[in-house]
Amino acid sequence: MIDHFKIKTLAQLKSSGYHSKSIKDELRANLIQKLKNKETVFAGIWGYEETVIPDLERAILACHDINLLGLRGQAKTRLARLMINLLDEYIPIIEGSELNDDPLQPISRFGVDKIKEYGDETPITWLHRSERYSEKLATPDVSIADLIGDVDPIKAATLKLPYSDERVLHFGLIPRSNRCIFVINELPDLQARIQVALFNILQEGDIQIRGFKIRLPLDIQFVFTANPEDYTNRGSIVTPLKDRIDSQIITHYPKTIEIGKRITKQESRLKEDQRKLVSVNEMAHDLIEQIAIEARKSEYVDAKSGVSARLTISALENLVAAAERRSIINGEKNAKIRIADFIGVVPAITGKVELVYEGEQEGPGIVAQNLVGKAIRSQFLNYFPDPDKFRKQKEKSPYKKISNWFGDGNTVDVLHDMSQTNFEKNIKSIPGLEELVKEFHKDRDGDTKLFLMEFALHGLAEYSLISKHHLTAGLQFKDLLSSMFTLPQPGDDDDTGNDEIKGRNFN
């Protein structure tokens, strides 16, 4: 094993038995070793074990440049960044080299001159794999000079060199990423004429700058990311460039709620004091993931744009913050998540979805509330019988006592900042609700039963057995039929009307 820190000259490097290898061979060799050792190659990536990761591993074994194609929030950049773990821990470079020159195979004028001057005493240094990753977000203003390089007039003047001298060149990001992984995010956003500049680099591995007769056989692992929607919205990958990218790997969103929850929990940035203060049960986690599922199939949301995994991450953070705020206001030392706290999730949804025309007409806030409602409706059947099955057999309905109580003109308010004592009192005041939960979930603990009671209340509203009104400070539940004949009074809040009658949550 080579002791990197003792080897400081070219002569010492040669005597150590070090052999040069390309970055693609390096990635391939280390991947083979990890696969043989049954090691996890892409740690922290969930849901791709049988799809994307095998494709990516095959591309690395084939020594391919890679394009990761998928909608936003599908961990494309995360995958690219994790590839550095497949690099050797250290590689030798000529000290002071801009292009990370291999001491045994220098490619730059600087490297060649250095070895010519110092011979076996050429000083070398060691580059850690963490420094061998470069990333560029493709934007319309990216130039050839940014990526490839250009003549530097200041350097020419300082060194008193003519523009014909190779030493006046200023190298761009790509040459400086020699022997590194270089990532271009959102490739279609790169102007076509700039994409053309990548042809030779991908095919021949070399570059030319401003007509200089130089050939730099660069050693780079290219990874590109692209969103399919970009092909029609903002630009496209020019066909000859796409043809030169060896492997195109298609990413996807989590295929199950369990995978989605694992990603959300891993990526959420909750403070330690929040974790201690707020208890989030698994049903609340399921609801958050269900919101994303509903958004991805909603007629109001642009499916081509996608619904990022960042929606569920932000939603969980907002949900916890809503419960935290409530507990602080009421001076409580702990907080259990309520369905009412999902009002805090609305800003996470409105900022993460692209609406189609119909969605814009409804308004982002209404669409967000609609998605939360649909998530509750979908998850309701995992815990309680389908209310639709009792439409014609109301006497047999397990919800009869609850709906009858509201039918008698009773109402219940569930306010966002309600104290735990008042919240329990209001929820438990509804006849039949506690019995319903005990019938289907008798083994649950008290906190979970209380959550299920509130959940059942919201679910019955989504199935139109009762009505749910949005108040400024919270929600009001009442009988569905009486709501139809209640006209808004002057000065009432716009959102206090029945959502079902407005057609917003009607199912």
pLDDT at position 235 is 63
* Highest mean pLDDT (candidates 4-18, 48-62, 344-358): 48-62
Rounded to an integer, what distance in angstroms lies between the CA atom of residue 500 and that of residue 507? 8
Rounded to an integer, what distance in angstroms lies between the CA atom of residue 451 and that of residue 423? 11
* Main-chain dihedrals φ then ψ at residue 267, nearest 5 degrees: -90, -15
Domain boundaries, the chain: 10-250, 254-382, 385-507
Of residues 481 and 63, which shows the higher confidence score? 63
Helix 282-296 vs helix 364-380: angle between axes, to the nearest 10 degrees? Answer: 120
pLDDT at position 211 is 63
How many CB atoms lie under 10 A from the CB of residue 103? Answer: 25
- Is the confidence at residue 141, as pLDDT, over 90? no
How confident is residue 486, by pLDDT bands cut at 50, 70 and 90?
A: low
Burial of 154 (0-12, 13-18, 19+ CB in 10 A): exposed
* Main-chain dihedrals φ then ψ at residue 299, nearest 5 degrees: -70, -15
* Main-chain dihedrals φ then ψ at residue 126, nearest 5 degrees: -115, 135
Rounded to an integer, what distance in angstroms lies between the CA atom of residue 155 and that of residue 499? 68
Q: Length of the chain in residues, anyone? A: 507
Of residues 377 and 358, which shows the higher confidence score? 377
Reported as half-sphere exposure (CB side, CA atoms, 13 A), residue 253 has a value of: 25
Please give the structure tokens belonging to residue 262.
């694992």
What does the pLDDT average to over 141-157? Answer: 78
Helix (H, G, I), strand (E, B) or coil at 161: coil
Q: What is the DSSP string of 452-487?
A: HHHHHHHHHHHTTSSEEEE-SSEEEEE-HHHHHT-P
pLDDT at position 481 is 76
Could you report the per-residue pLDDT of 407-426, keeping only the tens digit for each?
Answer: 999 999 999 999 999 999 99
What does the pLDDT average to over 270-280? Answer: 95
Is the CATH code 1.10.150 the one for domain 254-382?
A: no
- Is the confidence at residue 209, as pLDDT, over 50? yes
Could you report the per-residue pLDDT of 224-260, keeping only the tens digit for each?
Answer: 999 886 544 456 888 888 899 999 999 999 999 999 9
Of residues 319 and 492, which shows the higher confidence score? 319
State pTM to two decimals: 0.85
Instruction: Identify which of 172, 181, 152 has the alpha carbon closest to the alpha carbon of residue 216.
Output: 172
Could you report the per-residue pLDDT of 449-479, keeping only the tens digit for each?
Answer: 999 999 999 999 999 999 999 888 999 999 9
- Is the confidence at residue 149, as pLDDT, over 90? no
Beta-bridge mates of residue 477 = 412, 468
- E-strand stretches of 187-325: 221-226, 247-250, 278-279
pLDDT at position 164 is 62
* Main-chain dihedrals φ then ψ at residue 328, nearest 5 degrees: -65, -45
How confident is residue 505, by pLDDT bands cut at 50, 70 and 90?
A: very low
What does the pLDDT average to over 151-160? Answer: 69
Rounded to an integer, what distance in angstroms lies between the CA atom of residue 222 and that of residue 13? 28
Give the architecture-level CATH label for domain 10-250: 3-Layer(aba) Sandwich (3.40)
Look up residue 446 and give its amino acid. G
- Is the confidence at residue 60, as pLDDT, over 70? yes
- Is the confidence at residue 491, as pLDDT, over 80? no
Rounded to an integer, what distance in angstroms lies between the CA atom of residue 320 and that of residue 404? 34
pLDDT at position 501 is 34
Pairing of strands 133-137, 181-185: parallel
What does the pLDDT average to over 77-82? Answer: 96
Helix (H, G, I), strand (E, B) or coil at 228: coil
Q: Cβ(462)–Cβ(380) under 8 Å?
A: yes
